[in-house]
Amino acid sequence: MTDLPANITAVAHQIDAEARRRRFGHQGGVVWLTGLSGSGKSTIGVALEAHLFAAGMNAVLLDGDNLRHGLTSDLGFSPDDRRENLRRVGEVAALFAKSGAIVITALISPYSEDRARARKAANGQFIEVYVAADLDTCKARDPKGLYAKAISGEISEFTGVSAPYEVPTAPDLRIDTTITDLDACVAAIATEAKVRFIGDMSA
């Protein structure tokens, strides 16, 4: 937790992370998917949520595009707005994780500093997954037609075209979706999530 503002006192809870772990059969945590638009974050996020849920885990996907209808509907794509977007989603993901859920986030999250802040908000209960695909592949996929619009100048500040993407230097997992099919991507992340968040339940 960051330093509290003046006149705010932290409230102590009776229910702690260990009680939640015993109730749910796993710890709470965040699986943070980062990568270029079209790299596969949403596709993997949807499939991973279903996979972990079927395996008995309380998994929930927070997709950046969906959140922009509510939590972050007042924000655009300037560097400052992107930072605030990620700050909010990082804090919400950390709250969900604190409630015992496995939160999957799917946002481009182009800046290393913002990803590091999200990791810190989650108190280290965090798996950063770099969903890698080269720019040419993402442009060719263009699932939402956004690259075409960015290249023609219809939309500005588009990551990979007119805004930067800082490639993760030390992600917990790097998955190249140009050579790994969807099922294998999901299996690799699910394995890591189970190791990290289920661990040894006999303890």
| Residues near ligand ADP, by CB under 6 A | 35, 37-44, 106, 141, 143, 177, 180-182, 185
Buried b (16+ CB within 10 A) or exposed e, 168-203: beebbbebebeebeeeebbebbbeebeebbbeeeee
Tokens representing 174? 């790097």
| Nearer residue to ligand ADP within complex by CB, 46 or 75 | 46
| Nearer residue to ligand ADP within complex by CB, 43 or 125 | 43
| Nearer residue to ligand ADP within complex by CB, 49 or 98 | 49
Q: How far is the CB of 168 from ligand ADP (least distance, A)?
A: 14
Check if 73 is active-site. no
Q: How far is the CB of 139 from ligand ADP (least distance, A)?
A: 12
Q: How far is the CB of 8 from ligand ADP (least distance, A)?
A: 37
Q: How far is the CB of 42 from ligand ADP (least distance, A)?
A: 3
| Nearer residue to ligand ADP within complex by CB, 122 or 133 | 133
Asked if 196 contacts 128 with a C-beta cutoff of 8 angstroms, the reply is no
Q: Check 39, 73, 109, 156 and give the catalytic one.
A: 109
Closest-by-Cβ residue to ligand ADP is 40
Nearest to 71 by CA among 60, 87, 50, 55: 87
Buried b (16+ CB within 10 A) or exposed e, 65-75: eebbeebbeeb
Cβ–Cβ contacts within 10 Å for residue 81, how many? Answer: 14
Catalytic sites, residue numbers: 109
